[in-house]
């Protein structure tokens, strides 16, 4: 069964550094997402991406964040200058884009630790 | 605005006992509803989903959920809990707007006692 993959599984970075989290969505999916889960809290929507542009973003997704689909397979989340409060698990997801099967497939997550 | 409420932060049940986790949603149209399970430090595993049709849906690991439109609820049930079911359970609704995002509830942590 096709799956969403994410790399790395764990990233440690220093405050103020830039990080890029990588995701490979399922190949025939059209919508891509990033979600965040701070330890012990619920999963929060960050951004959705369709047709090479952001279709929706949350209040969390400020100017420090950006997303990109640099080629036909990868989908990345960049945090320009990390803060301690960016420490969280980041989940990538993809959705095929048809109403007959509205389901997002989630990757295993990248745990980001900012020190 | 769409939202999901899971009124129970944590629940403790005895192994072999039945389980019901509550979920209420707020959504203007026909909702797309999901239950996910998450073990500590792990990712999200989809237990079951409801899009349309039969309001009682069966999922993996012996779980089921019932959609009740009149109560805006989608409660998760299992007739006999196993120790391995101890985990965090998230109810979620799919928001068919702009980006088709998923909105999660705060989660219910299930503890299973021997």
Q: CA B106 from chain center: how many Å?
A: 11
Rg over alpha carbons for chain A, rounded to the nearest Å, is: 13
Give the sign of the dihedral formed by CA B69, CA B71, CA B72, CA B76: negative
Are the beta carbons of A50 and B99 closer than 8 angstroms?
yes
Beta strands A43-50 and A53-57: pairing type? Answer: antiparallel
- Per-residue confidence (pLDDT) for residue B111, from 0 to 100: 97
Q: Render each residue's pLDDT in chain B as its tens digit; 114 residues.
A: 789 999 999 999 999 999 999 999 998 777 889 999 999 888 899 999 998 888 999 999 999 999 999 999 999 999 999 999 999 999 999 887 767 889 999 999 999 999
Is B70 in a helix, a strand, or coil?
A: helix
Looking at the complex, does the CB of residue A109 fall below 8 Å from at least one CB of chain B?
Answer: yes
pLDDT in tens, A37-95: 999 899 999 999 999 999 999 999 999 999 999 888 899 999 999 999 999 999 999 99
Find which of B2, B5, B30, B43 to mutate to test the A interface (most A CBs within 10 Å of its CB). Answer: B43
Per the CB < 8 A criterion, the answer to whether B13 and B19 are in contact is yes
Q: Nearest to residue B101, comparing CAs of A94, A86, A28?
A: A94
Beta carbons of A103 and B44 less than 8 Å apart: no
- Select from A103, A111, A112 the residue whose CB has the most chain B CBs within 10 Å, as the one to mutate to test that interface: A103
């Amino acid at each position: 069964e096709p799956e969403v993959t994410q790399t790395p599984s764990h990233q440690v970075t220093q405050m103020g550094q830039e990080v890029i989290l990588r995701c490979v969505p399922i190949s025939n999916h059209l919508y891509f997402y990033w979600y965040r889960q701070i330890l012990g809290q619920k999963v929060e929507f960050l951004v959705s991406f369709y047709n090479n542009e952001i279709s929706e973003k949350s209040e969390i997704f400020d100017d420090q964040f950006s997303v990109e689909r640099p080629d036909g397979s990868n989908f990345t989340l960049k945090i320009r200058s990390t803060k301690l409060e960016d420490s969280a698990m980041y989940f990538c997801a993809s959705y095929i884009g048809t109403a007959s099967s509205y389901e997002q497939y989630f990757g295993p997550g990248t745990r980001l630790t900012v020190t | 605005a769409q939202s999901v409420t899971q009124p129970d932060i944590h629940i403790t049940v005895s192994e072999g006992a039945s389980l019901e986790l509550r979920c209420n949603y707020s959504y203007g149209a026909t909702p797309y509803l999901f239950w996910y399970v998450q073990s500590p430090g792990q990712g999200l595993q989809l237990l079951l989903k409801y899009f349309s049709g039969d309001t009682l849906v069966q999922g993996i690991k012996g779980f089921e959920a019932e959609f009740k439109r009149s109560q805006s609820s989608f409660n998760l049930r299992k007739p006999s809990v196993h120790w391995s079911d101890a985990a965090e359970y998230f109810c979620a609704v799919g928001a068919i707007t702009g980006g088709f995002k998923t909105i999660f509830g705060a989660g219910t942590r299930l503890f299973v006692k021997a």
